[in-house]
Structure 1
Amino acid sequence: MGEIKKLELLHPSEYEHPLDRKALQALEGTPGLESLTRKLFKHGVERDLRLQYTGSYIKVNERSFSEVYDILVDVCNTLHVKKIPDLYISWDYSINGFTAGSENPIIGLTSGAIDLLTDNELRYVLGHEVGHIKSGHMLYQTMAEVIPIIGDILGTATLGIGGIIGTGLQLALLYWWRMSEFTADRAGLLACQDEDSVINALIKMAGAPKKFFDRIERDAFLEQAREFRDYDYDSLDKVGKALLVMDNTHPWTVMRASEILEWIESGTYSEIIERRTREPGTAFKCPKCGTTLNGDENFCGMCGSKLWCR
């Protein structure tokens, strides 16, 4: 694997999955969503989630598990994210990462992810989570997490939101969440810049036993992913897959591999790397007016365009 390139002024629209965009447009048109959003965050939902995570897990920083923290910092620098999220480790031997909160999101990693992944595979997982933050996914993901809890515990009267919590809204949020995972996977690839590391991580997530990690058959898994992608051309298979995953927050792992493989094969991934990499000694320019930039600005000083930065 070569040197990882910093992707200056990378904007999430460059790697956004079209199904993510389409699902979000449908979600934003859901009646009652705006009102529900205001009420949930007015009552401190994000604060409560943050208390839950920070009170239960181990915080990672420059002194505690510094090797993992350094990877997170480098991932943020690679994806052009200025604010480093707080990072926590939870005891769980599955391979997983998660993000919580919208205004001040935090990232969590399982012990299994740290122990069972290589450093570059871990970059992919952390890049996936940072991608959620960079793309602004956390508001609706937080809502998808807390709506079932509120519906079950608080009933129809408390907070005045029971009447606008329905199965349709919950399913719409979950569908969008699954589609947003495809976008975050693309961010993970941009963060680690190694296709094999992404595929290996997905194989491990899919259930590869640790004793066979040194004999992972990537080609066989990729063949399985390509076969799975072919099922999309049959409308009945589409309906069946939708019904099977409708209550899940994540797509099937093989489906994720299929989607990231298709994106790589399209050439878009390579184009982004080339477009967003500035060679040493060369100037970086505003994508709108062409003014020379140093890559640290939030806005172009000439035309006033916002330069993506979180």
Structure 2
Amino acid sequence: MDYEIFDLGDVTLQSGVTLPGAFLAYKTYGRLNEKKDNVIVYPTAFGDQHVQNEWLIGSGMALDPQKYFIIVPNLLGNGLSSSPSNTPPPFDRANFPQVTIYDNVQFQHRLLTEKFGIQKIALVVGWSMGGIQAFQWGASYPDMVERIAPFAGVAKTWPQTYVVLEGMKASLIAAVRFDSSKLNQLTSEDMRAVGRVYAGWGVSQAFYREELYRELGFDSLADFMVGVWENSFVRMDPHNVLAMLWTGQNADISANPTYSGDFDKALGSIKALACVMPGSTDLFCPADDSEYEAERIPNAIFKPIESMWGHFAGRGINSADNTFIDDNLKRLLALSTNGSQP
């Protein structure tokens, strides 16, 4: 086991349901300094675990373990933190309660404060649903978070993103003919269709037109569909996926008692220096949604990743996109947070 467990105990979720014996799986890189102010939080995205974040961590990079104490908390529902696949009855499989992004960040805050005594975060960074968590950190704890850098992730699930997630969900529950009483019969094999649905949204039209999948070693579109989309989704537990889909569809940094659904107020309350990096051709989290958000965050710059890789410009696969993200993180971390504008 290359990660640690933080026991949360019995937690009351935003829904009002109490989840007994909840826990966060996390991994740390580097060392916490004496001042406890060299902290970077890097939450995982939908379906990812901490290892999928490691491409952005390394010596000489912005997220350098020689300089920073990097904490990667795993999303609830991802199979490592409390999830349908690892929770005993009565909350196992399809009976797992609804967990929000707000819940996730509340629990991560407990990890930082209770386990490590951290009161200041230099940066919260994340891709896709990790990016939503970065925004949530900035809105929930504006005095604690000095910088945020969401890439290919938005501060709420806009209608386009909701519809894509709904298509993924529908393709899964179609396997039990939309009978909610039979959800526990779903198997990983039923995830093949979900991968096929997502294939049209993860990368851009230009990616397919230019046959960029050849750069990944696939000779044909058919091989790419199976080798990347089907295979990555078949490895996921279908009940974990349903839980994360719910979390994703209901994500909104203002959907909590602090902001009571006032999205613009939540964005305006973020004090952190922000570098918002959407993919220029992202079909899943379109760049213009990110632009709307960046315009309403007081200290934000909007830096699209000019790439044909769509949503996956933030996935750590294409070296030019990786360099762009890393360079912007270095610039952001170099900025003083005492009144400087990015």
Tell me which of the two structures has the higher relative contact order, counting C-alpha pairs closer than 8 angstroms and 6 or more residues apart. Answer: 1
Which of these two proteins has the greater Rg computed from alpha carbons? 1
Query: Whose strand fraction is larger, Structure 1's or Structure 2's?
Result: 2
